[in-house]
Amino acid sequence: MPQINAGEFRKGIKVVVEGDPYDMLECNFVKPGKGQALYKCRLRNLLKNTIIDRTYKSGDGLEAADVRKGEAQFLYRDKSSLVFMDQESYEQYTVPQEIMGDGVRWLMDGMVCLLLYWNDRVIEVEPPPHVNLKIIYTEPAVRGNTSGNITKTAKVETGTEIQVPAFIDQGETVRIDTRTGEYVERVKV
């Protein structure tokens, strides 16, 4: 793997530290009055999702991580794992549900997700930023409570419960932000 010099450290680069891939969250250049220039870096472990702080001298370097992103279609759930098919190579990947984390509650058959690969191994799965889901159950709106910021609980077709405005009825389709789990808007089908 190619080396990345400390002078080339930037936010967003992927590097290998102690055998694990890391994403550089921030890098600050510090020039003390005496001595060598320093690079204070904050790194996120892509396997364990932990954050570390490291300081490197101007002559130091790190190995570049062989990390790539690709789209894959969700095929099906199998006990405690998820099966995806790469959109380019049509290769299938079986991924433990823990890797996807909270995003698994938005997963629908045929949904295209973003997979992060390290050494041809899936290390992260991101659902699309917004999904359109049908409301399968919610209490009917109470007359007079259809305006303002009044919300109620609704169950969507994936089985997840979300908060929606009081005017949303059963059978309607809503757009949900998968990063926050919040209602965005009602969708006309």
Predicted confidence at residue 147, as pLDDT, reads 61
Domain limit, last residue, from 64, 90, 107: 64
Residue 31's domain comprises: 3-64
Pair (8, 58) in one structural domain? yes
Q: Is 58 helix (H, G, I), strand (E, B) or coil?
A: coil
Q: Are residues 89 and 122 in the same domain?
A: yes
CATH number, domain containing residue 26: 2.30.30.30
Residue among 47, 12, 9 nearest 28 (CA): 9
pLDDT per residue as tens, the chain (189 positions): 688 998 899 998 999 999 999 999 999 999 888 888 899 999 999 888 899 999 999 889 999 998 889 999 999 998 889 999 998 999 999 999 888 888 899 999 999 999 999 888 888 899 999 999 999 999 887 766 556 678 899 999 999 999 999 888 899 999 999 999 999 999 987
Q: Among 126, 143, 164, where does a domain finish? A: 126
Question: What pLDDT does 149 receive?
Answer: 79
Q: Are residues 167 and 134 in the same domain?
A: yes
Per-residue pLDDT at 124: 87
Q: Indicate the residue among 106, 126, 146 that finishes a domain.
A: 126
Whether residue 71 is found in the same domain as residue 119: yes
Domain total in the chain: 3
| Predicted TM-score (pTM) above 0.95 | no
Task: State whether 17 and 57 are in the same domain.
Answer: yes
Predicted pLDDT of residue 84 = 95
51 with 76, same domain: the answer is no
Specify whether 107 is located in the same domain as 56.
Answer: no
CATH classification at residue 73: 2.40.50.140
Q: What is the DSSP string of 105-169?
A: GG--TT-EEEEEEETTEEEEEE--SEEEEEEEEEPPPPTT-SSSS-EEEEEETTS-EEEEETT--
**pLDDT at res. 146:** 56
